[in-house]
Structure 1
Amino acid sequence: MNTIPYRIHEIKTTQFATFPEKYINGGEVSISTTFHFALKKDIPNVLCSVEVNYSQDENLLLIAQVDCVFAIEKDAMSNLQQEGKISVTFLRYLGTIATGTLRGIIHAKTEGSVLNGLVLPPLNLNKVINQDFIFDKSTEVAK
């Protein structure tokens, strides 16, 4: 993979809710994580959206989502468009940054609550993000 010049353009917490009253101390907490990538053809930005759900005994304890927009250098984006894809390796890299960002948001927003000890664990993004992002030339937003 060639180096892709980028910078973090925007970070937005798009969803955040906690339900600490449903937390049972000592009970097992499950975490589910979802990643979504998108872009618009004429803007050299890549969106990486990460959502996590913490639940216990089928009760939602916390839901959080962050959108990280990465500005890609114009010539690099042109090269990616010519290739017709963004490599899974680069997507995992962006996912790592977005996951760390979300981990910090969760920590800051739960500070002082019983949910603060539920730290988002490290994720093996090799298992979660497992395919290239293929440009869809028929629509404005690639899938």
Structure 2
Amino acid sequence: MSKKQPKGVGFALRGINTEQFATFPDLYDEDKDVLFWQGYEYGADPDSHFVGVLTEYRFAHGETPFLTIKISCHFEVIIDAWKEMLSEDEQSITLDPGFLGHLLMLTIGTCRGVLHAKTENTEFNQYLLPAINVAELITEPLTIEFKGERSE
């Protein structure tokens, strides 16, 4: 069982990566219905005290995407806050919904900006990420198990 998480978790954004971005103009048809798909992943590095959030979005006609973007943000958590989230056996951390939602919200906003910058002055610029209520997406704490060898 992890310790109680502090009310405010100190952290800093330390990295942004565009993991994937693609447009497929030949597959795009402005007269067809557009479907929107979203996905999220989380990870943690116990050695650097980083939490990573990956967001992925696709705009598609049926199963055929014509616009896809995947962005990751990497957040460094201050050591005292990290220790509060760390399990007793130090093999996992548990993030409360408020903190996790905050990181996801920052990553979604970052992705929204990258999407705009990459599609500016193209026909795809009309496709914006919608407002996403992260409080509805994240209602439970998330435990992230550490994998692999750790440096001491």
TM-score w.r.t. the length of structure 1 is: 0.88
Structural mapping, 1:1-143, within 5 Å: 2-82=7-87, 84-136=93-145, 139-140=147-148
Q: Secondary structure at the match of 1:97?
A: helix
Paired with 2:66 and 2:144, the residues of 1 have a C-alpha distance of: 36
Contact persistence 1:20–1:113 (CA under 8 A):
no
Contact persistence 1:51–1:66 (CA under 8 A):
yes
Q: Secondary structure at the match of 2:113?
A: helix
Q: What percentage of residue pairs aligned between the two structures are identical? A: 26
Runs of 4+ in 1 over 2 A off after TM superposition: 126-131
Q: Secondary structure at the match of 1:3?
A: coil
Paired with 2:138 and 2:7, the residues of 1 have a C-alpha distance of: 19
Show CA shifts across 1:6-49 (max 9, x none). Answer: 11000000111111222222432111111111012222110000
For this pair of structures, how many residues does the alignment match?
140
RMSD: 1.9
TM-score w.r.t. the length of structure 2 is: 0.83
Paired with 1:63 and 1:135, the residues of 2 have a C-alpha distance of: 26
* Deviation (angstroms), 1:89: 1.4
Contact persistence 2:43–2:144 (CA under 8 A):
no
